[in-house]
Amino acid sequence: MNTLIILLLAILGTIIGFITGLLGIGGGFILVPVLNSLFCDMGIPLNASIKMAVGTSLFVIFLTSTVGTYKHHLQGNILWRCSIVLGVLGIIGSLIGLKISMEYLSGNLHKRLFALLLIIISLYGFYGTKRQNYRTPGNNLLIDNLNTIDNSIDNISSINYKKLCIMGIIVGIISSIFGIGGGIIVIPLLVYLLRFPIKMAIGTSCGMMILTSFMGFVGYMTAPYSFHEELYNVGYVSLIFGLIVGLIATVSSKYGAEIAYKIKSQRLKYIFYTILMIVGVKLLLD
């Protein structure tokens, strides 16, 4: 591995860690396209490179989400029972998604589906952010009052666990297919379907991602693929790429988490959905 690639991975790790801490998402929507380009440049065929990018992305997300979860736990913004429900059901979904990815998706179709996913989520998010009324009286749900005690976990009055279970399976399938931790799916769902405050949704998402990303990268790691010395891969997971990006990301994530608690929730949402739209359009046009 040459010095330039190491430098690129270090920069990528810094960006991914910051985004993970700031937005509570694994950064897979950036990791997958960048890693895919790197693997293709190194001579890996597209059908294999996109799977390698997904598997390695899930490995990185596992490392960063573990640290991110600890940071958000200290802030008291993780509803653990919801994280566990989402994570356990997400594991079931990830097994389904792994089978779909390995047996039914070509490299080009895989990439374009990923791009469409990002665009759809961002459009829905922009629309919902403008129309959502967080203070509808008498709904007995979470209120997005991020600056008062009503935002604490102890004041939750109602959680729809049926919706939560369905969300977990869907997130697991999408996470495993596209190499994302699931945060870009579950955060909007928690906010708009279950009325979670955005920062509590971010924290709960981090807790869920530990389980979903672990099952995902283990699945890609156990899938048979030839060994490449420069990638030091096991199956479709490049351990050397993943460790460089992941370890640097775990350091930089704390700075994103610190900033997240200083930014207004509405602004945080617009940052989140704008990033998704830019990356999705770029992937679709490539």
Q: What is the pTM of this model?
A: 0.73
> What average pLDDT is seen over the chain?
78
Q: How far apart are CA 34 and CA 12, in angstroms?
A: 9
Inform me whether the pLDDT recorded for 176 exceeds 70. yes
Q: Please, which pLDDT band fits residue 147 given cuts at 50, 70 and 90?
A: very low
User: What proportions of the chain, in percent to the nearest 5, are helix, strand and coil?
Assistant: 75, 0, 25
pLDDT (tens digit, 9 = 90+) per residue, 7-47? 989 998 888 877 776 665 667 777 888 898 889 888 888 78
Inform me whether the pLDDT recorded for 153 exceeds 80. no
Which among 223, 196, 234 has a CA at the least distance from the CA of 83?
A: 196
What does the pLDDT average to over 216-234?
87
Number of H helices, E strands in the chain: 10, 2
**Phi, psi at residue 106, to the nearest 5°?**
-75, 165
| Residue 139: other Cβ atoms inside 10 A | 12
SS (H, E, C) 15-32: HHHHHHHHHCCCCHHHHH
212 touches 69 (CB < 8 A): no
What is the pLDDT at residue 241? 93
What is the pLDDT at residue 239? 93
Max mean pLDDT among 97-106, 158-167, 239-248 falls in 239-248
Q: Please, which pLDDT band fits residue 200 given cuts at 50, 70 and 90?
A: confident
What is the pLDDT at residue 181? 67
Q: How far apart are CA 222 and CA 260, in angstroms?
A: 36
pLDDT (tens digit, 9 = 90+) per residue, 39-90? 988 888 878 888 899 899 989 988 887 877 887 788 787 888 888 999 899 8
pLDDT (tens digit, 9 = 90+) per residue, 253-272? 777 767 766 666 567 667 77
Helix axis angle for 46-74 and 161-178, nearest 10°, is 140
Inform me whether the pLDDT recorded for 227 exceeds 80. yes
Q: How far apart are CA 27 and CA 104, in angstroms?
A: 25
Inform me whether the pLDDT recorded for 135 exceeds 50. no
What does the pLDDT average to over 218-239?
89
pLDDT (tens digit, 9 = 90+) per residue, 80-133? 888 899 989 988 988 888 888 777 776 677 767 877 877 887 887 677 666 554
What is the pLDDT at residue 144? 36
What is the pLDDT at residue 234? 92
| Residue 76: other Cβ atoms inside 10 A | 13
Q: How far apart are CA 239 and CA 253, in angstroms?
A: 20
